[in-house]
Amino acid sequence: MDDLYREVIIEHYKNPSYRGKLDPHDIFFADNNPLCGDHIEITLQVGADGAVSDARFDGHGCAISQASADLLMEHIIGKPLEEVKQLNKQDVLDLLGIDLGPVRLKCALLSLKVLKAGVYGLGEAGDDLVE
Amino acid sequence: MAFEIRKIREDFPTLARQVRPGVPLVYLDSTATSHKPEAVLAAMDGYYRHSNANIHRGVHTLAEEATALYEQAREGIARFINAPAARQVIYTRNTTESINLVAYTWARANLKSGDVVIATEMEHHSNLVPWHMLAAERGVRLEFIPVTGDGLLDLEAYQKLLQLGPKLVTFTHMSNVLGTINPAREIIRLAHEAGAVTLVDGAQSVPHFPVDVQDLDVDFMAFSAHKMVGPTGIGVLYGKQALLEAMPPFLGGGDMIKTVHLHSFTPNTIPYKFEAGTPAIAEAVGFGAACEYLSGVGMDAIAAYEHAITEYALERLEEIPGLRLFGPSADKKGGVAAFTLDGIHPHDVAQILDQDGVAVRAGHHCAQPLHEKFSIPATSRASFYLYSTTEEVDRLVEGIYKVKKYFA
């Protein structure tokens, strides 16, 4: 547990730096984890250089899902969209600094799924986006 | 017989395990599935080691034995719910399949566009989605008995809904989230007066207190073995004989037929009409053993014991600041305690409890509309069975205080 609920995760859950909505924004996407009702929505602003100039997430859910969303927003600001498209499961786990079982993995990856569906301009966020 | 909890726990090998070295299991998730006693494991093992054969048409010794075991189990299950005859007990995969069987056969033969089906707001998805599918296909109209703030069915609203002349009234005997034990006999009596057929989801009731289908006068009752110390993969649909006989078959295949020609078939008699293909034979044998085990302990004794545990658990949980319990008071519910903790997601609660070996469930427990009703995305749920102890409730309460400390 000391691993799973590392200080950093509790901290990002309780005091997120990137919670909110950007208005105006260039990219918006929202989705749920049907398993537990976790909800994540993201708004991005993209600069003329094709890089993420600002990013926010909003929603509700467990510490893992909300902390990973906050860490992910922090991680992508300044990165070109092409690079954001390449992010995968391991990147999120590295950000969290933990290993997760199959059930909690869905919580951790919800924000990446939502982010990639938004960046790719897809109609829905499929699990294949984060494999 | 006196209820000897120590002896009962010894019957269940899983309960003796540790989750991690030095951390014994505190299993509070029996509403999802129960553990299995040695008697059930031995019955299934014995079947495979000694009598394994396909049932019915075989005439060799093993086939005769397998058939006898399979049918004896059916008779045992029939006795367990006081069904008038074993042929009214149809084997299915689980409660979900039993409900779908009614939806696909009886309902599609008897309901047309505009006909009303009444369910409740506290249904498990298994007793909602089959009716959604029927509504989409047939234009059947779904109405719901509302749930009150304290987790009971609004029976006045039900009486009004009955004026719509429903064809079917279907409801859970006991809510898997609130624990509410619904007044089934009364609901069924009123439904019959209005001319409706009744279907009861007994997944949570049949395992936990005596259920007598004749006393209830229920038309259809669905339940699963795995929630009542039996194996997964087998459930039952009980039905009144005349209804079952008038229904078209469900799945087509072997065993459900009397005769087959290239261009036609005639269906078998009940219960075989609804049991196409090689069934879960070992699981049926295990189901029979499970009923025998529970009867041996005594369903009245089990119900009384669980009631005491539930009362104790609700009392202890209510003491915890920031904890909100859902459902009615202990006298109106079974052994389920669903709760939320202020500011802490149920997933986090369940995960941290697991570190101390305490197994609870977190989520919407396949009852999303009910959670919407209470405006919460999810709850944590502790549930109790004949092998649960007050010491386990204490471990749960200690664990919850630890969770609160983490997020303080």
User: Of B7, B80, B81, which Cα lies nearest the Cα of B38?
Assistant: B7
Query: Using the beta-carbon criterion (under 8 Å), do A36 and B362 form an inter-chain contact?
Result: yes
Contacts of residue B180, defined as CB under 8 A and 6 or more positions apart, other chains included, come to: B122, B151, B152, B153, B174, B327, B328, B332, B333
Q: Residue B141 in contact with residue B116, Cβ under 8 Å? A: yes
Which chain A residues are within 8 Å of B351, Cβ to Cβ?
1, 4-5, 62, 104
Catalytic residue among B53, B135, B301, B366: B366
Active-site residue, B366 included? yes
pLDDT value of position A1 = 45
**Cβ–Cβ below 8 Å for B377 and A37:** yes
pLDDT value at residue A36: 67
Confidence label for A28 from pLDDT (cuts 50, 70 and 90): very high
pLDDT at A122: 79
Partners of B347 on chain A (C-beta within 8 Å) are 36, 38, 61-62, 64, 104, 107
Confidence of residue B122 (pLDDT cuts 50, 70, 90): very high
List, in order of start, the domains of chain B with CATH numbers. Answer: 5-30+298-407 (3.90.1150.10), 41-296 (3.40.640.10)
Could you tell me how many CB contacts below 8 A there are between chain A and chain B? 49
Q: Are B405 and A9 in contact, with CB atoms under 8 Å apart? A: no
pLDDT of A113 reads: 93
- Is it the case that residue B396 has pLDDT exceeding 90? yes
Most confident range (mean pLDDT) of A1-5, A26-30, B206-210 is B206-210
Of B345, B364, B406, the CB nearest to A62: B345
DSSP reduced 3-state for A68: helix
In this prediction the ipTM stands at 0.81
Q: Which residue has the higher pLDDT, A39 or B83?
A: B83
Look at strands B141-145 and B116-120 and give their pairing: parallel
pLDDT at position B172, please?
A: 98
Q: Note the Cα B18 to chain centre separation in Å.
A: 27
Closest Cα in chain B, distance from residue A83 (Å): 31
State yes or no: pLDDT of B294 exceeds 60: yes
The string of pLDDT tens digits covering residues B357-388 is 999 999 888 888 898 898 888 899 999 999 99
- Chain A nearest CA to B35, separation (Å): 21
Looking at per-residue pLDDT, the higher value among B35 and B368 belongs to B35
Q: How many CB atoms lie within 10 A of CB B226?
A: 24
**Are A62 and B363 an interchain contact pair (Cβ–Cβ within 8 Å)?**
no
Q: How far is A61 from chain B (nearest CA, A)?
A: 6
Question: Per-residue pLDDT tens for B2-25?
Answer: 689 999 999 999 999 999 999 999
pLDDT at residue B169 is higher than 80:
yes
Specify whether the CB–CB gap between B326 and B375 falls below 8 A: no
- Taking only the tens place, the pLDDT of each residue in B247-279 is 999 999 988 889 999 999 999 999 999 999 999
Percentage of chain A exceeding pLDDT 70: 95
Exposure pattern of B162-192 as b/e (b: 16+ CB <10 Å)? beeebbbbbbbbbbbbbbbbbebeebbebbe
Q: Mean pLDDT score of chain B, rounded to an integer?
A: 96
Sort out which chain A residues have CB atoms less than 8 A from B352's CB and list them: 1, 5
Predicted confidence (pLDDT) per residue in B84-107, tens digit: 999 999 999 999 999 999 999 999
Chain A residues with beta carbon closer than 8 angstroms to that of B371? 37
- Residues of B with Cβ-Cβ distance to A1 under 8 angstroms: 351-352, 355
Residue B1 has pLDDT above 80, yes or no: no
Hey, CA dihedral for B225, B227, B231, B235, is it positive or negative?
positive
Percent of chain B with pLDDT over 90: 91
C-beta atoms of A36 and B406 within 8 A: no
Report the pLDDT averaged over residues A32-58: 90
The pLDDT tens digits for B51-87 are: 999 998 778 999 999 999 999 999 999 999 999 999 9
User: Taking Cα atoms as reference points, which of B241, B242, B248 lies closest to residue B274?
Assistant: B248
Domain covering A7-121 in this structure, CATH number: 3.90.1010.10
- Find out whether B230 and B41 touch, Cβ atoms under 8 Å: no
Say yes or no for a CB contact (<8 Å) between B346 and A36.
Answer: yes
Residues of A with CB under 8 A from a CB of B: 1, 4-5, 10, 14, 35-39, 60-64, 104, 107
How would residue A129 be classed by pLDDT, with cut points 50, 70 and 90? confident
Q: Is B363–A60 a contact, with Cβ atoms under 8 angstroms apart? A: no
Give the tens place of pLDDT for each residue, A62-74.
899 999 999 999 9
Contacts of A35 in chain B (CB under 8 A): 363
Domains in chain A: boundaries: 7-121
Please state the rounded mean pLDDT for residues B120-125. Answer: 96
Which H or E run includes A112?
A: helix A102-120
Q: What is the pLDDT of residue A128?
A: 79
Whether residues B346 and A62 touch (CB distance < 8 A) is answered with yes
- Lowest average pLDDT, out of A107-121, B189-203, B288-302, goes to A107-121
Chain B: residue whose CA lies nearest to A7? B406
DSSP character at residue A22: -
Is A61's CB within 8 Å of B345's CB? Answer: yes
Average pLDDT rounded to a whole number, residues A113-122: 90
- Residue ranges of chain B whose CB lies within 8 Å of a chain A CB: 345-348, 351-352, 355, 362-364, 368, 371, 377-378, 406-407
Q: Measured between alpha carbons, how far is A67 from A4 in angstroms, rounded to an integer?
A: 12
Given a cut of 90, is residue B281 above it in pLDDT? yes
